A and B are shown apart, each in its own frame.
Chain A
């Protein structure tokens, strides 16, 4: 318990530091949100009036204080560009991205673990080569390319899946999953490649250890040796990588989100940055950082469940 409290405290401290760094960097960037709102419809007087009404003329420290005070009191403010309250906006986009992240990770793990185990069991034979080739294909094809191919196949030619868009999973789960399937596949196939290689090398290490030889010598069925004895010992590094990928995914799925007009956290962060919408930039970076750290904490806790030899703290 003390371990969890300590970790949570360090998460809070890191988030605070991240918020200061983000705020400083975004204030150095050229341009501001008033300029982006008006675009080429602005003139110096109108721009000055708008800056005043948005509070951009206040000292940076005052602007930061306003934001952090709001976050602590549960009022995350309003996006300067879109005039939408930030907290519900982020909740909605986290739900959208969360669905894709969970689905793509499920697809990736369901494919990668069997494929990696299969390759490790048949090291240097055709099964290993096949698995490596599949992984290499996944690694070398960019996800947006896979995405376009999927759209052409499943939406344009076969008409099985919608080509773009998002449906709220709390309103229609099946519809939401249908819309999320192609983006998840595009991401999942790329992820799968990493995880397959990870599973393979980790399994190879375990399969060459003494206790596996003993298990085989005892006459245990190969299936039990691999899945019951080897895999739980080999899965740790795979989970670490998968955990890191989940955090990474939330911020980096912008390309796939744009391609499928599936507007989630990646898209929102990108829009915020592009438009210099500082409160929104702050809040999205804050949330993504928090998710990355919390997922890593959960992965560490899961280690303990899978492998009781690991002690935390």
Chain B
């Protein structure tokens, strides 16, 4: 590849993914080379390594390199084949036919067949497995395997999001038949890297799988050292002990960029954050009250104050590159007099309304956001008390028991519209911890789930977003940026971040000699 072509293609990749190049033009015109061990300072501890059973973004980030799925998504968020060579959906949406690639090898040396796909799907669907994504297969009636390369999934009723849900490893992953019991400690898949060992809480070692169906990776080995303390992670990168780190502390990003000694990449979104009301309480069943709280927040100032500007404001939770995202919605500007007037109209004179805002210390910027919002609330005549909870307490009180008035949360990797809108906003949705009960949202999300025409689905999701915004069901704040810092010796950084914004894919990453 010539230098000019490389620059053009890099710029294209960067633009398409919303990357910002932190370092002044650090594009290298050299060719990728094979070899070397990359030491990655990973921001979190990996947990259960079973792809079906793990629900955390941190563990999925590592497993992404070990596993492949039947289908995946590209940068435009379209479902594309991965271990399947092609797929076909019947017009009535009741059967999915996957033609599998020939000669795909698992890390244990066996060749992938339709039986492995059947095993993997059935394992995920079986409630006894404890799979996080088991409900993806709720509408599945049976799986047929007419030959080694063909899998037909028959549905009991149309389930439009089924295919895109399979694009996440948690549901669509293919593991060797019978390997389930050992996946938790010795994950085996068909991905570009093979699991070698985990020194628990310390590091995970992966090595290149030379027989990877999509061509071997460049790196010989990846050592993912788990360094949860952000400053120590950054020090390790500065001293050269680490080649790469994810999650640079937000307040240090601009300084690292200015230093110019390291490569920095930031992208949106890593996740989205929103402020929530408990809709089971009479107080928040009044739209005027919800609107008043929306109006008292200056979202841009909050982004600067709590997140050091490391994000991008958004009033809808749809992924920025998702066709279903409604482009016409934007934040309401801060208007304290109007907020005060609305509260007065709803029967809350200044000083008469007290609200408890529960946030988890698991996300320190949520605590900072709540402190800033509480100050604006005070100016609008609301007494806001902040309760800081550990992650376990937050999950228990807010998520499970729904014992809260206001709270704040974020979601990683929910890019698929059905999962996002049905789970989070439908009155029976599994993630509807706010108790939202809105008949129009229910109707529209149900219609969208059964709608097999893509354009009609997009229109439905856009309508849902407009309605959610008008009704102020939540206050969506921003997409938070992800960040990576790397030594100048690391090549292929622009390919590292998976389209879901959270996983890291080391297949095309390489080290300069």
Name A's B-contacting residues (CB within 8 A): 29-31, 35-47, 49-50, 52-54, 81-84, 89, 92-93, 148, 151-152, 155-156, 159, 162-166, 168, 258-261, 263, 267-268, 271, 274-276
Which A residues touch B393, using CB under 8 A?
30-31
| B86 within 8 A of partner (CB) | no
Determine the residue in chain A with the shortest Cβ distance to B138: A45
Which B residues touch A164, using CB under 8 A?
225, 227, 229, 232-233, 235-236, 241
Identify the interface centre among A49, A164, A260, A263: most chain B CB within 10 Å of its CB.
A164
Identify the interface centre among B135, B231, B232: most chain A CB within 10 Å of its CB.
B232
CB B224 to nearest CB in A, in angstroms, measures: 12
Q: Complex Cα distance A107/B47, Å?
A: 35
From the candidates A30, A49, A271, name the one contacting B45 in the complex (CB within 8 A): A271
Which B residues touch A35, using CB under 8 A?
392, 395-396, 399-400
Contact B135 A43 (CB under 8 A): yes
Q: Across the A-B interface, give the 10 residue pairs with the lowest CB-CB distance, nearest first.
A: A43-B430, A83-B184, A263-B201, A31-B396, A49-B127, A41-B55, A30-B396, A53-B130, A50-B130, A261-B227
Contact B201 A268 (CB under 8 A): yes
Which B residues touch A258, using CB under 8 A?
228-229
Q: Complex Cα distance A162/B184, Å?
A: 31
Contact B395 A46 (CB under 8 A): no
Contact A92 B200 (CB under 8 A): yes
Q: Complex Cα distance A159/B241, Å?
A: 10
CB B503 to nearest CB in A, in angstroms, measures: 14
Which B residues touch A159, using CB under 8 A?
239
Which A residues touch B397, using CB under 8 A?
30
Contact B200 A45 (CB under 8 A): no
From the candidates A40, A42, A92, A165, name the one contacting B409 in the complex (CB within 8 A): A40
Q: Complex Cα distance A46/B129, Å?
A: 10
Contact B225 A155 (CB under 8 A): no
Which B residues touch A42, using CB under 8 A?
55, 132, 399, 430
Which B residues touch A267, using CB under 8 A?
201
Can you sample 21 A-B contacts with CB below 8 Å? A31-B400, A35-B396, A37-B53, A40-B409, A40-B431, A43-B423, A52-B127, A53-B130, A81-B48, A83-B49, A156-B238, A164-B229, A164-B232, A165-B202, A165-B203, A165-B225, A259-B232, A261-B228, A261-B232, A271-B45, A276-B392
Determine the residue in chain A with the shortest Cβ distance to B56: A39
CB B471 to nearest CB in A, in angstroms, measures: 23
Q: Complex Cα distance A53/B128, Å?
A: 6
Which B residues touch A275, using CB under 8 A?
392
| B390 within 8 A of partner (CB) | yes
A41 touching B185 in the complex, CB below 8 Å, given contacts A156-B238, A271-B45: no
- Residues 243-282 of B at the A interface (beta carbon under 8 Å): none
Contact A163 B235 (CB under 8 A): yes
Q: A46-B131, A84-B200, A165-B202 are in contact. List 7 more A-B contacts (CB 8 A).
A: A30-B397, A39-B56, A39-B391, A39-B395, A49-B128, A82-B48, A261-B232
- Residues 187-241 of B at the A interface (beta carbon under 8 Å): 199-203, 225-229, 231-233, 235-236, 238-239, 241
A263 touching B202 in the complex, CB below 8 Å, given contacts A81-B47, A163-B241: yes
CB A250 to nearest CB in B, in angstroms, measures: 16
CB A161 to nearest CB in B, in angstroms, measures: 10
CB B179 to nearest CB in A, in angstroms, measures: 14
CB A157 to nearest CB in B, in angstroms, measures: 10
| B28 within 8 A of partner (CB) | no
| B50 within 8 A of partner (CB) | yes
Determine the residue in chain A with the shortest Cβ distance to B399: A40
Contact B411 A163 (CB under 8 A): no
| B478 within 8 A of partner (CB) | no
Contact B395 A36 (CB under 8 A): yes
Q: Complex Cα distance A30/B358, Å?
A: 16
Determine the residue in chain B with the shortest Cβ distance to A156: B235
| B134 within 8 A of partner (CB) | yes
Q: Complex Cα distance A176/B58, Å?
A: 27
CB B502 to nearest CB in A, in angstroms, measures: 12
Identify the interface centre among A41, A83, A156: most chain B CB within 10 Å of its CB.
A41
Q: Could you mark each residue 395-432 of chain B with 1 if its beta carbon is under 8 Å from any beta carbon of chain A, else 0?
A: 11101100000000101000000000001000001110
Which A residues touch B184, using CB under 8 A?
83
Determine the residue in chain B with the shortest Cβ distance to A84: B200
Q: Complex Cα distance A254/B47, Å?
A: 19
Which A residues touch B129, using CB under 8 A?
53
Determine the residue in chain B with the shortest Cβ distance to A37: B55
Which A residues touch B233, using CB under 8 A?
164
Contact B395 A261 (CB under 8 A): no
Q: Complex Cα distance A260/B411, Å?
A: 29
Determine the residue in chain B with the shortest Cβ distance to A35: B395
Contact A31 B395 (CB under 8 A): yes
Identify the interface centre among A53, A82, A155: most chain B CB within 10 Å of its CB.
A82
Which A residues touch B185, using CB under 8 A?
83-84
Q: Complex Cα distance A43/B433, Å?
A: 9
Q: Complex Cα distance A89/B395, Å?
A: 27
Q: Complex Cα distance A29/B393, Å?
A: 9
Determine the residue in chain A with the shortest Cβ distance to B390: A274
CB B245 to nearest CB in A, in angstroms, measures: 11
Q: Complex Cα distance A89/B228, Å?
A: 19
Contact A156 B239 (CB under 8 A): yes
Determine the residue in chain B with the shortest Cβ distance to A151: B235
Contact B395 A49 (CB under 8 A): no
CB B459 to nearest CB in A, in angstroms, measures: 27
Contact A260 B55 (CB under 8 A): no
Contact A37 B48 (CB under 8 A): yes
Q: Complex Cα distance A151/B185, Å?
A: 33
Which A residues touch B133, using CB under 8 A?
41
Contact B130 A30 (CB under 8 A): no
Q: Could you mark each residue 452-464 of chain B with 1 if its beta carbon is under 8 Å from any beta carbon of chain A, else 0?
A: 0000000000000
